[in-house]
Amino acid sequence: MRLSVIGCGYLGAVHAAAMASIGHEVVGIDVDAGKIESLQAGRAPFFEPGLQEILTEGIASGRLRFSTDFADAAGSAVHFVGVGTPQQKDGYAADLTYVNAAVDALVPHLNAGDIVAGKSTVPVGTAAALAEKVAPTGATLVWNPEFLREGFAVQDTIDPDRLVAGVPAGPAGEQATAVLREVYHTAIAKDTPFIVTDYATAELVKVAANAFLATKISFINAMAEIAESTGADVTQLADAIGHDARIGRRFLGAGIGFGGGCLPKDIRAFSARAEELGRGESVAFLRQVDEINLRRRERAAQLVVDALDGSVYGRKVTVLGAAFKPHSDDIRDSPALDVAVRLHGLGAVVTVTDPEAIENARRVHPQLTYVHDRDEALTGADAVIVVTEWDQYRRELDPAHAASLVDGTIVVDGRNCLDPAAWRAAGWTYSGMGRP
Ligand code: UDX
């Protein structure tokens, strides 16, 4: 099938390349000429495992191309819209400027019978409004939210847990559903659940899923706070409650909390939208989810202060990690960098290292010192804090070797990803998050 993908950021670039990899003919469109040039030259503009390979392959096969011209979308059966919906500068609501601009630019190139498939995360009610923009062309708008995780984006796009399509009632909706089943033929062949709903439900599935995940993380981080006042160990607590199949162990990783381009802004936008709907109290708990999350960043910085006898001023602190999670170079709302910036603000001499995210981090926080080599970053440190659980720190860093590099054997485990016994045995003073 011929497909277009409007917006070539984390979501769109992966979607375009993944759709080409399962046999479709795809054009990716973005207003950012630099990004398009890079993609068309076969260079992934960000780090995402597996993306480079399918990008190179797609371009070589002739099935994948990129353009800044919306006219190139004409003739595609489905036009995916995957542009960003960032947090508004002066509030919590989602900024829909890019979504509206993308649909407005697409409309002149639509033909009757085309499908416009929204993938961006939007406030409930957006699809209905966009459907009105699209209606005069005879195209059909559907809402087809994307649940990919960064770091696993290619895998999640090609082989998702479920597919969701919000479609209008009647024959147009039925036809659009059939077309989407054809688009996702490889996943459908594997019996991936395909849930067809109305617009509002499809929009809400996405924000509800992210709100639930954020709540799960803040729940365990709240338990970490209680553990800190009682001497309990939150990681054992998580293991024990996680054995209950109704609860499950995933997303019960206590630490410095969630960040990235989705969860923080999505729960805030959800709160803002609920307020608009007069239902603010229904999701009032999301404010607390956000507050708990931000408190953990402060707590991590405080643990370093405490371990250095009350002040980090002038002390060398090595921060292991900058990306908001491993397998990504994304630093949007990264708790890791937030902790680094807080320590710098307290007067520490901060050195940050990360396998992938240094260049992005340097652009946003030039006041910090960055070192590519992990061991060089550790050399001479008075204290070390792990803030992104990359394998390079979690599995591959031998505590005895690390001890031989630093000046002070103080380690704060902001992700509860190290083995406390092994680090203590190598002479380190270990502090975790919610662990004795
Ligand atoms: C999230 C959703 O998982 C995905 O379905 C949606 O499409 C986009 O938002 P992503 O932002 O890529 O994906 O990352 P995710 O793996 O969900 O992690 C988000 C944050 O939560 C990271 O900062 C991570 O470190 C943190 N986290 C995750 C925890 O602090 N503890 C956990 O147990 C799990």
**How far is Cα 382 from Cα 56, in angstroms, rounded to an integer?**
44
Burial level of 41, CB count in 10 A (0-12/13-18/19+)? Answer: exposed
Q: Domains of the chain, with CATH numbers? A: 2-197 (3.40.50.720), 207-290 (1.10.1040.10)
Residue that has been written with the tokens 């507050």 in this structure: 291
Instruction: Give distance in angstroms: CA of 93 to centre of ligand 1.
Output: 20
Ligand 1 centroid from CA 214, angstroms: 8
Q: How many residues does the chain have?
A: 436
Query: ipTM greater than 0.95, yes or no?
Result: yes
318 labelled ligand-binding: no
Atom of ligand 1 lying closest to residue 254 CA: 31
Mean pLDDT score, 203-228:
98
215 is in an annotated binding site: no
What mean pLDDT do residues 98-117 have? 98
Catalytic residue among 6, 262, 317, 352: 262
CA distance 324 to 125: 30
Q: Read off the pTM.
A: 0.97
pLDDT digits (tens, 9 = 90+) for 404-415: 999 999 999 999
- Given a contact cutoff of 8 angstroms between Cβ atoms, the answer to whether 203 and 124 are in contact is yes
pLDDT in tens, 37-64: 999 999 999 999 999 999 999 999 999 9
Cα-based torsion angle of the residue sequence 418, 419, 420, 425 in order, rounded to the nearest 10 degrees: -120
Ligand-binding annotation for 47, yes or no, is no
Segment 294-309, tens digit of pLDDT? 999 999 999 999 999 9
Best residue among 250, 262, 292, 328 to mutate for probing ligand 1, ranked by most atoms within 8 Å of CB: 262
C-alpha span between 363 and 34 (Å, rounded): 17
Residue nearest to atom 17 of ligand 1 (CA): 149
Q: For 170-201, how does the pLDDT look when each residue is reduced to its tens digit (9 = 90+)?
A: 999 999 999 999 999 999 999 999 999 999 99
**Tell me: the pLDDT tens digits for 124-167?**
999 999 999 999 999 999 999 999 999 999 999 999 999 999 99
Distance 251 CA to ligand 1 centre (A): 8
Mean pLDDT score, 250-263: 98
Q: Which residues contact 268 (CB under 8 A, 6 or more apart)?
A: 87, 92, 93, 286, 290
What lies within 8 Å, CB to CB, of 297 at 6+ separation is 256, 257, 335, 338, 339, 342
**According to the model, what pLDDT value does residue 281 have?**
98
Q: CB 366: neighbour CB atoms within 10 A?
A: 9
Question: Is-catalytic flag, 417?
Answer: no
| pLDDT at residue number 79 | 98
Segment holding 432, helix H or strand E:
strand 429-432
